[in-house]
Structure 1
Amino acid sequence: MNRTHPPSDPRLLATRSEIRDAGVAIAQTARRELLVFDRTLDCDLYNAQTFVEAVKRLALARPDAPVRVLLSYPEQGVKNVNQVVELAQRLTSRIAIRRLVDDLPVRPDAFLIADERTYLKRPLAEGSEGIADMHGRVEARRLRNDFEQMWEHAEIHVELRRLHL
């Protein structure tokens, strides 16, 4: 009997609530790694308690910084209280946040990847449309490669660090 894997099922998302729900679902599936690339950590999308709990669970389960966040404009995460930023400030060795350096080309998109197999991508970071795929290994790997290249040229954003005195 020939067993096949379920076909890739990309799902078009047309509202911010659908995007938020897909992001939560993807974060909840992460077992090894969760990567976020966005302009800011949009509170509508990344401040949902279920998303934050999924990030915390993964961060506490793995000692090797399994959650990495790459932002174009991290100042917004500081101005608008974001629970992921607060969690990163408490779990500094488990959640890493970096800022893209100014000399890199600005990307209009945003994405979330879990374990090189699931992804959520928004062609326009501020937009209300996106695509989520729970079996999208090829695209998830491509996005992860993009993430790694940007991560290597990113810097730690000083305002996102908390001083422990």
Structure 2
Amino acid sequence: MQDAEPTAALSQIADFETLATYTDRFASSARTRVDVVTPNLEPQLYDRPAFVAAVERFALDRRDARVRILVADAQAAVRYSRRLIPLTRRLPSVFELRQLRPKHADSPRALLIIDGRHVIDRPQGGRPDGVASEDSPGRAKPYAETFEALYAESDPHTEFRGLQL
């Protein structure tokens, strides 16, 4: 990616523990925006107490906080999430969950982009293998642009709405 800072390190991720460490560290550092692309909300990663606590703190502490999550399979996301989906329903002004259009839902890629400067890119979502780039806006820019394009073409999904009594 041509805009990358020459000193920005690109770290390989080969196991779940490393992936979880980067995910939690990046989420804990969020200041304005958390963007996620995931096949099914990957509960083993995004429904863990550490991640949910980090995004909850971010959502409650920051007036301009925004969390946007794009999923390929909305039904699986709702079915298997015991912590994150209830949080999104509790704080709908911060969280926005949308379903990828079918033409994009077949892509297995998973992304986590924090504030347009931290990125985790996993070519095969659901697997931990990928790369992490920390504090590198130049390296994050093409990923953020990809996210924006996917977001623009995604749709709200009824599975993400809570029941109003």
| TM-score normalised according to structure 1 size | 0.90
Change (3 A) 1:23 1:136: same
Say whether 1:147 aligns with 2:150.
no
The residue that corresponds to 2:69 in the other structure is 69
Alignment partners' CA distance in 1, 2:147 and 2:113: 10
Please state how far the C-alpha of 1:153 moved relative to its aligned partner: 1.1
| SS state at 1:108 partner | coil
In structure 1, stretches of 5+ residues that fail to align are: none
The residue that corresponds to 1:109 in the other structure is 109
Alignment partners' CA distance in 2, 1:104 and 1:69: 14
In structure 2, stretches of 5+ residues that fail to align are: none
Alignment partners' CA distance in 1, 2:104 and 2:11: 30
Alignment partners' CA distance in 2, 1:33 and 1:153: 19
Amino acid at match of 2:154: A
Q: Give the aligned length.
A: 161
Note the aligned Cα RMSD (angstroms).
1.8
Residue 8 of structure 1 contacts residue 135 of structure 1 at CA under 8 Å; is this kept in 2?
yes
Residue 36 of structure 1 contacts residue 111 of structure 1 at CA under 8 Å; is this kept in 2?
yes
Amino acid at match of 1:12: Q
Q: Percent identity?
A: 29
| TM-score normalised according to structure 2 size | 0.90
The residue that corresponds to 1:100 in the other structure is 100
Change (3 A) 1:158 1:64: farther
Alignment partners' CA distance in 2, 1:65 and 1:118: 16
| SS state at 1:119 partner | strand
